[in-house]
Amino acid sequence: MSSYVVRRLFQAVPLLLIITFIAFGIIQSTGDPLAAYTVEASLTSDDIARLRAYYGLDRPLPLQYLSWLKNMLTGNWGTSYYTRENVVDMVLNRLPNTLLLVAVSYALTLSVAVIVGIATAVRQYSLFDHLVTGLTFIGIAIPNFWLGLMLIIVFSVQFKGAGLPYFPVGGMYDHRVGPSFGQFLWHVILPAATLSFVMTAQYIRYIRSSVIEQVHLDYVRTARSKGLTEIVVLGRHVFKNALLPLITLIALDVPNILSGTIVIESIFAWPGMGRLFWSAAERTDIPVLMATLVFVSTVTVMSNMLADLLYAVVDPRIRYT
Amino acid sequence: MEIPHEPTTSQGGPRLESLPGLIWRRLRRHRLALVSVFILAVLIIISFGVPLFVSEDDANRLNLRAKLEPPSLAHPFGTDDIGRDILLRTIFGGRVSLRIGLLAALLSMAIGVSIGALAGYRGGWLDNVLMRFTDALLSIPTLFILIVLAQVFGRSITIVTIVIGALSWMPVCRIVRANVLSLKEREFAMAARALGSRDSRILSRHIVPNTIAPVVVAATLGVGRAIIIEASLSFLGLGVQPPIATWGSMLNRAQGFLVTAPWVAFFPGILILVTVLCVNFIGDGLRDALDPYAQN
Amino acid sequence: MNPRGYGGKLFLGLLLFTFGLVNTAALAQDTVIVGMHQELEFLNVIYTQGGNSLSASKLAQRGLLFLDEDSNWIGELATEVPSLANGGISEDGTAVTYNLREGVTWHDGTPVTSADVKATWEMIMNPANAVVTRFGYDRITSIDTPDDLTVVLNFEEPFTSWPILFDAIVPQHVIEANSPDLDRSEAMRTPIGFGPFRISQWRTGEFIEYEAFDDYWRGRPKIDRLVIQIYPSVDALMQAVAAKEVDIAWSVPASYVPQVRELEDQGIRLVTASRATAERYVMNADASKAPLFADKQLRKALHHAIDKQLIVDELLYGLADVAVSEWQGSPWQNPDLPAYEYDPERASAMLDDLGWVVGAGGIREKDGQRLSFGHKTTVGNLLRENVQLLVQQLLRDVGVEMIIDNQRTADLFGTWHQGGHWSQGNYEMGGWSHGLRVPDPEISNRFLCSEIASETNQAGSQWFRYCNPDIDALLEEQAVTLDADARKQLLFEAQEIFHDDAYVIYLYAAPLIYTVREEVRNFTLHRFANFYWNPHEWVLE
């Protein structure tokens, strides 16, 4: 097992190298970072030449890549072309916000999916089951940004207009009040609900079908025939066997949810990594783009690895040598 | 579309029913899929039919005297902020969105099948290189890399299609590779090889037809995915050039009028939802219909 | 302990402290929240190119001069504006003397002196510092500081744009404490100044918090805190406006005007002012890139085909003026320039005369060539796109095809080396605007033949690719003319020639549009100093 872990880690290195190479190659052709300066046009020719040299933009590309790689490996991810902030700081500033959003989304997804999934499996073909099945189909087909817009129309605009309790349209807290846990909860609900909707729909379907599958297996019949109560049967046996593989599903969903944050964070003004990436992309802020890309890719590679390992742990039939 | 089937008459035994016939019979039992086929057909007929009678110029004509009008008889879906008829633009937008969705899915299927088959059949270092490349692409969350690519290559329907297609083949590739790996050791492939068939012939005549079922399902679901991806890109402002409408770009514009004119955001969104829903139902139906273990 | 770890603990502490409670301390203060839909990059005038960063910087940083209500220079740190009359400018125009105000202090309490001005100049000219522009500073040969309150700028030759220099000053003690590596120091990102507010907290991409500066020389601001809240998009900002989460919305695009007007009965009003910037469509003057536009009559025909008043009335809701000049909305705009009149029949007749006859699909043709060209502007700007679509339709109505090919800012405005479309002249018609950022008429680089970007002059900043020796002569003469009226006349003459050459279609003067809650009193918008003109006078009711 441990040699497997080591081997996987070892494989991840060239993978990440390929990723940085692809990313660097593409990003370099996304436009000129100095454009943000010439937009306002009081730059003289001297200014342009001076700034190009300062940012190293006058060097050949392979050299730029190598020096970027060298710096990155030594922990120097550069400074943003625009804010001149240390990129590591920028990422670390935004990361907690995205993690919070993602964590709440996962919590929402899991609690809803487990309860509803099991309930529909137990009451297969009931009205409730059909209703949920219909909703899950919609959940999988709905574009998340549109869902976000609709939620804003209903819960922020209409509700507020009608004098009902409403949710804020964006941000992490109201500046008149300042940050607090209550504020955070109030602000996180809509974006987290939007982000988790698709996932919840998928998980409900997954849980429903795997619980149904388990219920018909021999060991459950055995357990039932032993006279165990339904709750015990479900909780002890079915639950464990049906839901453990869910852990790997969660790990595999990490890249999807990260992609989702780009759109959701920009609709709901959530100051996280997705928005950092998007605003950097709009301005061709190369150091920030590279850092976010490498970062999310590393997270993805790690979560894939984790998924494999967890799978091995929960399913003893799989052996890694 | 002709569904190629496994070991043809030269090797196969007598057959009671053609495979397409069988699939159709099974699909027919999947009522939702059937309804979906019907709805999708209507959408396609409208999207591609109406443009035969109305020119795109007319659909995109500004009418500054009729800005942000709510749905009415004259404008069943209302008008947008520069007085364009939303119904007409939704139809023209549907044409673009559907085309991008279908072509991107086809492209990703073509790339995925070729690379997957090649890697799986050849094995060795080629397999290794191709799979590491696939892994690398899979490891960058899709939207991140799509945004960067869309910015590099610019804004036209063709380019958006290619970019989406070129970045969604990886799952298909893995399915095909895994299938090929297991199939090439099975009897009929070994037999063919023993009989002296060339590799390419074995691949195209025996192995690819056997992996077609999961690929068709994946590709169908891929259409829905591609439509959503296109909409997301357009929504972020990375789609096609104005005045061309796509559902995503209409939603991008609608963002500013959520309060005053929610209908601008409603109709294109609901059409994306319905289309993707139909595509998914059809995919599900096909999955059941193509499942070799399903009982008749 | 590093500041981030500290911030994290602080945040955690806050979380615990305010759990279930309302943060009453913040509520008791008068806080004005300004919402912006563009991220701020840098809060230092010297390091930022403009836009909202400049405005935000100006809340804390001030310079030698400021502006009065009518955009005339007045003293800020300087007691008065140097002139020939008051002896502040030497007879030969090579020395400018400022007398500094007594008793002005930095946000940290240190007095502001002439040494700070000199240190700022040295910092700007230091090659280790990547300041945005050295324009003008590089004309200074030396700075004399005979005493703490006197600064003398010495130039080799008269430099008529001297008022634009030192629009921000950085304290000498801060420069010294943070050198080397001044560029990357926090002290430069969030500098102290002597303006009405001081920066108390900045979370990039989220918000900036300012506190009233008790010792502002014009008097302490009447509000206690000012917060700039960043929204990721105009739409998000507008939703916040409707929800009254912000008091003031910065730079609302005109397409949102009807929406804001609907909010008027809820106490949200629209405040507008016109900027000294014209939105314009440029016809590439390089005949090898845009051969169609080599024909002056054709250019004029296109001018007559575009209904600028319609754009203003319908797309800008009447909140702008039709534009005519590069010096639009400034004292240097030639008041006698007529706008090209909207007259589609005349445009059609002119095109007919040129031999362009209507062919297939209603588009004119001549010798098998269609009257069709590409048009580029920046993506993602709804108003620009709407104007573009309307112009496309108006041109279509006279048989001219305009194909939209919008690009990102980073591609259009890129430098020559990175293939910037404007810089390399890779466009036929282009829509962008470069206004006057400060009340100073020096924008010759946009017209001079010598500034055309090319293989041999890659950093050239003239993108019209226009070359007219008459205009060159006039602009070179005005640059060394100290007499204000004479200078104006030269600029007027240049504008007339340029107007007749008809390479640039001026559309409208870009308006500043803000929304303000009625609870905020004394808010004014200023042509140049937009919202930072009098924030110390705002009152919250």
- Gyration radius from chain A CA atoms: 24
> What pLDDT, on a 0 to 100 scale, did the predictor assign at position B144?
86
Residue C152 sits at φ, ψ, to 5 deg, of -120, 120
Q: Which single residue is written with the structure tokens 């890719």? A: A297
Sign for the pseudo-dihedral over CA of C427, C428, C432, C433 = positive
In this structure, the strands spanning C248-249 and C150-155 are unpaired
Model confidence pLDDT, tens digit, residues A255-267: 888 889 999 998 8
Report d(CA A273, CA C487) in Å as an integer: 52
Report d(CA B79, CA B73) in Å as an integer: 12
Please, which residues have CB within 8 angstroms of residue C346's CB and are 6 or more apart in sequence?
A: C301, C304
- The answer to whether the CB atoms of B141 and A278 lie below 8 A apart is no
**C515 DSSP β-pair partners:** C249, C270
B248, containing H or E segment: helix B247-254
- The answer to whether the CB atoms of B256 and C239 lie below 8 A apart is no
Interface residue A111 vs chain B (CB under 8 A):
no
> What pLDDT, on a 0 to 100 scale, did the predictor assign at position C311?
95
- The answer to whether the CB atoms of C382 and B253 lie below 8 A apart is yes
CA dihedral (C194, C197, C203, C204) in degrees, to 10, reads -70
- Averaged pLDDT for residues C370-392: 92
Please, which residues have CB within 8 angstroms of residue C506's CB and are 6 or more apart in sequence?
A: C278, C279, C280, C308, C322, C323, C324, C325, C328, C339
Beta carbon pairs, B and C, within 8 Å: 57
The stretches in chain B having pLDDT less than 70 are 1-19, 207-208, 291-296
> What pLDDT, on a 0 to 100 scale, did the predictor assign at position B19?
66
Lowest mean per-residue pLDDT among C89-93, C310-314, C344-348, C515-519 = C89-93
> What pLDDT, on a 0 to 100 scale, did the predictor assign at position A319?
52
Model confidence pLDDT, tens digit, residues C121-160: 999 999 888 888 888 999 999 999 999 999 999 999 889 8
Neighbours of chain B (3+ CB pairs under 8 A): A, C
Structure tokens at C283: 């016809």
Model confidence pLDDT, tens digit, residues B178-224: 888 877 777 777 777 777 777 777 777 776 677 777 888 888 888 99
Tell me: pLDDT of C14 over 50: no
Nearest to C35 by CA among C242, C186, C265, C277: C242
Lowest mean per-residue pLDDT among A120-134, C81-95, C154-168 = A120-134
- Gyration radius from chain B CA atoms: 22
The stretches in chain A having pLDDT less than 70 are 1, 40-42, 175-176, 236, 243, 314-321
Please, which residues have CB within 8 angstroms of residue B130's CB and are 6 or more apart in sequence?
A: B115, B118, B119
Model confidence pLDDT, tens digit, residues C278-298: 999 999 999 999 999 999 999
Model confidence pLDDT, tens digit, residues C414-450: 888 888 899 899 999 999 988 888 888 989 989 999 9
Tell me: pLDDT of C210 over 80: yes
Nearest to C399 by CA among C298, C500, C322: C298
User: Nearest CB to A153: which of B133, B149, B258?
Assistant: B258
Report d(CA A59, CA A62) in Å as an integer: 9
> What pLDDT, on a 0 to 100 scale, did the predictor assign at position B268?
93
Chain B residues lying within 8 Å of C244, measured CB to CB: none
Residue B248 near residue B233, CB atoms below 8 Å: yes
Q: Which single residue is written with the structure tokens 């979370």? A: C203
Q: pTM of this prediction?
A: 0.85
Interface residue B60 vs chain A (CB under 8 A):
no
- The answer to whether the CB atoms of A38 and C413 lie below 8 A apart is yes
Interface residue B269 vs chain A (CB under 8 A):
yes
> What pLDDT, on a 0 to 100 scale, did the predictor assign at position C350?
96
Chain B residues lying within 8 Å of C235, measured CB to CB: 255-256, 258
Nearest to B184 by CA among B237, B136, B122, B231: B122
- Smallest CA–CA distance, residue C502 to chain A, in Å, is 22
Nearest to A206 by CA among A131, A277, A317, A113: A113
- The answer to whether the CB atoms of C26 and A176 lie below 8 A apart is yes
Q: Which of C418, C422, C437, C464 to mutate to test the interface with A (most CBs of A within 10 A)?
A: C418
Tell me: pLDDT of C490 over 90: yes
Give start and end residues of each alpha helix (H) in C448-531.
Answer: 469-478, 484-501
Tell me: pLDDT of C538 over 90: yes
- Smallest CA–CA distance, residue B280 to chain C, in Å, is 32
**B108 alpha-carbon distance from chain centroid:** 9
> What pLDDT, on a 0 to 100 scale, did the predictor assign at position C504?
97
Report d(CA C180, CA C128) in Å as an integer: 8
Report d(CA C271, CA C261) in Å as an integer: 11
Nearest CA in chain C to B251: C235
Chain A residues lying within 8 Å of B224, measured CB to CB: 141
Q: Which residue has the higher pLDDT, C24 or C124?
A: C124
> What pLDDT, on a 0 to 100 scale, did the predictor assign at position A47?
81
Report d(CA C346, CA B119) in Å as an integer: 67
> What pLDDT, on a 0 to 100 scale, did the predictor assign at position B181?
82
User: Nearest CB to C133: which of A42, A52, A169?
Assistant: A42
Neighbours of chain C (3+ CB pairs under 8 A): A, B
- The answer to whether the CB atoms of A143 and B273 lie below 8 A apart is yes
